[in-house]
Amino acid sequence: MKRALTVLGVLALATTACSGSGGGNVPGVSGGTAPVTVRWSTWGSAEDVKLYEAFTEDFHKRHPGIRLKLESVAKYEDYHPKLLTQLTGKTAPDVFFVGDDNIGKFVQAGVLTPLNDKLAGPDSKSRPEDFFDGVYGGARKDGQIYGVPNDTNPEVLWFDKQALKDAGVTEDPAALNAAGKWTMATYLDMNAKLKAAGKAGSIFWNWYGSTYSMINGFGGKTWDGGKFVATTDPKSLEALRTLAKGYQDKTFLSADLLPDSNGPSTQFLKHKAGFYAGGRWVIDSLRKGGELDNYDIVPFPSQTGQPMPGAVAASYLAINKETKLPKEAFTFLTEFVSKEGQLLRLKDGGAVPSIKGAEQVVLADGYPAHAQTFLDVRDTGFANYPEEVSVPGLTAAINEHLMKVWTGKVGFDQGMSELGKLVESKLG
């Protein structure tokens, strides 16, 4: 999950030499001699950030009156606490990224600029309707948009044809999906065969993407009418029980618990697991050490074989409500998330465009063979539920508690009872 979020969060620009400052009445755009500087922030390593130099260079050529100054934070877990401190101290950047598990608290805090009018206005290059409805997640409240999805990473199941063959599985998951026969029962049967052959069935990261996609695949619900129902809905409980049993008998592996020396990518490349849940970012690992044609993707299965909503990792670009450069900040935001901006930023990246019309980024090189699946899941999927991300720390608390259940430290029935109470207490 951290890797997925890092890929999303660093759909960013490389640091460039900048002049001026982010605030005050600095001349530039309106006819002065010195450019104004829009400060913005994201998370990611220096290597990640370098991928997006092209956008910065292009933006500076087209907007000589605006300089972009990137203030990056290497680790995702350090990024949001620092940003909140900056916002409190009135030193925050003009524009900044917010992860899908944190966007709700920023909306609640009232520190973000409402964007509906700006996105619908004459200076916009990214209209509200250009983005897929489910991807807004907690960035939209009471009909108002406070953050724009800069790109996405739909959660899919990568599968290893060699591992499946070794386990005696003769059917191709992608072919089954195309025929409307990719069911949860078939998927679990493949996992059982992989386990019997001495391999792991599936590798999951412990995050809402995998967990909630499995719940949906069983026909269950996580949230319903503002209430957390995963611990009471029978089909949801069946999904969670299946996950707990699978983790404990090693049919499923938790990527979070694997050692760095033998992590999920390594095991997948060595044909030790049949399925690996992840986004388009997995391609990078496969290119470095795998036989590319040996791997393909399929959505999470459903009970009937028909498509169901899957999870979509997202991050958002938002504008500081107290920026002194609202016009210039919006110019950057709307161009960054526009079709042209995403085509430029994502052509060599590991994410999926959030905006309509940029699909060629995903389909251009024909890999994986069923790359259209990324787009199908994006188009009908969901970012983390607004009810959940509006409560600071709730997603992390749910994941932490579920890990106790997955590892058997807490019995299933007790764990579900405690989880329900935990969520209720945080909802207040």
List, for residues 291-312, the tens digit of each pLDDT value.
899 999 999 999 999 999 999 9
pLDDT, residue 17, reads: 32
Residue 12, pLDDT above cutoff 70: no
Which backbone phi and psi does 170 adopt, to 5 degrees?
-100, -15
Q: Judge whether 38 and 328 are in contact, CB under 8 Å.
A: yes
Which segment of 9-13, 245-249, 415-419 scores lowest on mean pLDDT?
9-13
Compute the CA torsion angle 46, 363, 375, 5 (nearest 10 deg). Answer: -10
Mean pLDDT over the full length of the chain: 91
Q: What is the mean pLDDT of residues 52-68?
A: 91
Compute the CA torsion angle 44, 49, 55, 58 (nearest 10 deg). Answer: 140
How far apart CA 419 and CA 404 sit, in angstroms, is 11
How far apart CA 265 and CA 245 sit, in angstroms, is 23
Q: Judge whether 70 and 41 are in contact, CB under 8 Å.
A: yes
pLDDT, residue 21, reads: 35
In terms of CATH architecture, what is 156-310+393-427?
A: 3-Layer(aba) Sandwich (3.40)
In terms of CATH architecture, what is 2-153+314-379?
A: 3-Layer(aba) Sandwich (3.40)
Q: Judge whether 359 and 353 are in contact, CB under 8 Å.
A: yes
How far apart CA 124 and CA 118 sit, in angstroms, is 7
How far apart CA 273 and CA 284 sit, in angstroms, is 18
Half-sphere exposure of 341 (CA within 13 A, CB side): 22
Q: Delimit the CATH 3.40.190.10 region(s) of the chain.
A: 2-153+314-379, 156-310+393-427
Give one word for 143, left, alpha or beta, with left for phi > 0 and alpha for psi -120 to 50.
Answer: left
Q: Is 383 exposed, middle or buried (0-12, 13-18, 19+ CB in 10 A)?
A: buried
Q: What is the mean pLDDT of residues 262-282?
A: 96
Q: What is the pTM for the complete model shown? A: 0.90
